[in-house]
Structure 1
């Protein structure tokens, strides 16, 4: 029996349906290309990058200097120095109270009271006072003038009614001399008070000298008022009737039935308890009125009128006291109602100053 040898074929490689690509042997590939980059180009790029980096490093100081020189020079803002705090104008109120206490202690001081004055004016501790302590006294002390002579100094004038200082009864020996009039018991003392910042934000005070006695403050000239001359308050005058009814309820009834005399929307509180038992209106001064026929009628609704009223009010002890009220009246429904209890009489508007004679007038406009 014969054995037949069969030779196994190797399987054929799969056919790629795509077009055949030229297979380049690995040994024949260009050794100048690595990972898609040419090694020559890569070397040139690396050299270029190195030169750029070194160029930037070299230009760095130059660019920094140019940037520094290009910044505009601005002067440095001056450093504000904190000024020492000075007492404000509100320190005048404390200086006024300090001066009043000092004047009270000064007027009643006598032998042995030097330390009391030194509390206000330290050099007073070395004084030698005369007189008996407490023989004179200052009463009804009040500040009548307050003037700032320096940012930290106030000149305070204090009025005081001095008691216990009897004038000399020795008559004058000079021929033809008339007896001196009685001295006014109200006297005026000026005290210089210095202020300075104290502990805890408070203000400290001290006197710069002993009190100086000065003249009374100058009295101001009375300004012109809007009212006419005072004239008797006639009972037939509707204005007299309105103010009498109102002031009677206001002063003698503690405000009872007060609203019936007031204009709509007006509210007033009367003194309570009632200080007087009766009143009598004596005179009226009416705004813009110069005199003439007696007034017996009331104008149209909404008319307002200001007037000044003087009266005598009888106290609970039977003593009559003169009083003056500034009132505003308003007409409504044929009668006067009280529209306001004014705080002060109304002042007349200032009189315009006439132009000086001979003063050049306005220039004439030239015409064509």
Structure 2
């Protein structure tokens, strides 16, 4: 509390016990409800300056917060692009069609309920023959296309084993022939087209159903293989450094003989096939990129030179049977020798000439451009 001394002026009727001109104590502002009027003034000032400070700092803090947000956070706010139609339900539809064809091939009399698990209307079908008389040995999807929203057309190839057809007329059959013929089996590759619909179930998972029974169709048409960058196949000469490099690599890679790393270019990582399936490798022919003739080659070019080739070999198995194998390889020259720089996933196609591309485009303007 602040104390001040004030001189009180003389009064006509001074208070008892005081004299004119005496000093009195001024105790300053009086306390109001435990809070002085001076403290209230100071608090008001602090609040006023705090409010002004917040008004000034508000935009600055907002800008700082905006700039401090990571760039990744902005990306998460953008809606994800819709999934491609061909990716939604395709895998499930393909597997469903394979199971349906397998059941269909082996079905016989009184197997309607088994087929109804895939095609509900199968309960009204008339089935003939013995159940399991035909057996699907191999099944795989060879074509998958979307014909409508949530509807897939799946073509399944099935290798079916069943009784061999009886080619003998009834008059030429001798006792015991019929039973012998029925015991014979002939595997036949056949193709079935299955329409499959998909929709979410009550649990949220994808559900599938067939829209009809399988339809047997013809095999897919063969296409003409594209040209490759390699020259013609020619004998792999023992004196050719490329023959030596490829033979040593394949021997270590397939038979486990020798260290594989010593035949690899720096930076190339390959692991040998284990357990080793073969006991020996014989390199028969090579097709070299850019080579058209069959002139013998006995030298290695400058370091860093790369070369692609196709190598046709025969691998001898543990049963002494030779199996033909073909490898697409990339070689790289270093220190006077060829090293394996890559085991290519597929032979390299030849680039399409500009003239051919222009002719194709003009003949079929709606076709997609050919890419390498």
Q: What is residue 143 of structure 1 aligned with on the other side?
A: 141
**Which structure features the higher share of helix residues?**
2
* Aligned mate of 1:335, from 331, 334, 337: 337
Q: What is residue 216 of structure 1 aligned with on the other side?
A: 219
The equivalences for 1:109-128 within 5 A come to: 109-128=107-126
SS of residue in 2 equivalent to 1:213? strand
Q: CA deviation at 1:200?
A: 2.4
Q: What is residue 75 of structure 2 aligned with on the other side?
A: none
Q: Does structure 2 conserve the Cα–Cα contact (< 8 Å) formed by 1:139 and 1:160? A: yes
Residues of 2 paired with 1:205 and 1:94: CA distance?
A: 8
Residues of 2 paired with 1:284 and 1:146: CA distance?
A: 37
Residues of 1 paired with 2:277 and 2:187: CA distance?
A: 31
Residues of 2 paired with 1:88 and 1:261: CA distance?
A: 43
Q: CA deviation at 1:292?
A: 4.0
Q: What is residue 131 of structure 2 aligned with on the other side?
A: 133
TM-score, scaled relative to structure 2: 0.68
Residues of 1 paired with 2:330 and 2:87: CA distance?
A: 37
Q: What is residue 299 of structure 1 aligned with on the other side?
A: 301
* Aligned mate of 2:206, from 203, 211, 215: 203
Q: CA RMSD in A?
A: 2.3
| Structure 2 gap ranges (5+) | 1-11, 13-82, 170-184, 363-372
| Structure 1 gap ranges (5+) | 1-12, 14-84, 172-181, 360-368
Q: Alpha-carbon deviations, 1:87-146, whole Å to 9, x = none? A: 873201100000000000000001110100011111110112100001111111000000
Q: Does structure 1 conserve the Cα–Cα contact (< 8 Å) formed by 2:234 and 2:294? A: no
1:249 equivalent in alignment to 2:252: yes
Q: What is residue 24 of structure 2 aligned with on the other side?
A: none
* Aligned mate of 2:313, from 308, 311, 325: 311
Residues of 2 paired with 1:87 and 1:333: CA distance?
A: 53
Aligned structure 1 segments of 4 or more residues deviating by more than 4 angstroms:
85-88
Residues of 2 paired with 1:86 and 1:325: CA distance?
A: 35
Q: Alpha-carbon deviations, 1:143-195, whole Å to 9, x = none? A: 00001000111000000011114224147xxxxxxxxxx98710000000011
SS of residue in 1 equivalent to 2:97? helix
Q: CA deviation at 1:86?
A: 12
Q: Does structure 2 conserve the Cα–Cα contact (< 8 Å) formed by 1:242 and 1:337? A: yes
Q: Does structure 1 conserve the Cα–Cα contact (< 8 Å) formed by 2:162 and 2:187? A: no
Q: Does structure 1 conserve the Cα–Cα contact (< 8 Å) formed by 2:153 and 2:193? A: yes
**Higher Rg of the two aligned structures:** 1
Q: Does structure 2 conserve the Cα–Cα contact (< 8 Å) formed by 1:86 and 1:151? A: no
Q: Does structure 2 conserve the Cα–Cα contact (< 8 Å) formed by 1:310 and 1:324? A: yes
1:106 equivalent in alignment to 2:104: yes
Q: What is residue 68 of structure 1 aligned with on the other side?
A: none
Q: CA deviation at 1:220?
A: 1.9
Q: What is residue 167 of structure 2 aligned with on the other side?
A: 169
Q: CA deviation at 1:352?
A: 1.7
Q: What is residue 273 of structure 1 aligned with on the other side?
A: 275
Q: Alpha-carbon deviations, 1:73-97, whole Å to 9, x = none? A: xxxxxxxxxxxx9987320110000
What is the number of equivalent residue pairs in this alignment? 264
TM-score, scaled relative to structure 1: 0.68
Q: Does structure 1 conserve the Cα–Cα contact (< 8 Å) formed by 2:162 and 2:186? A: no
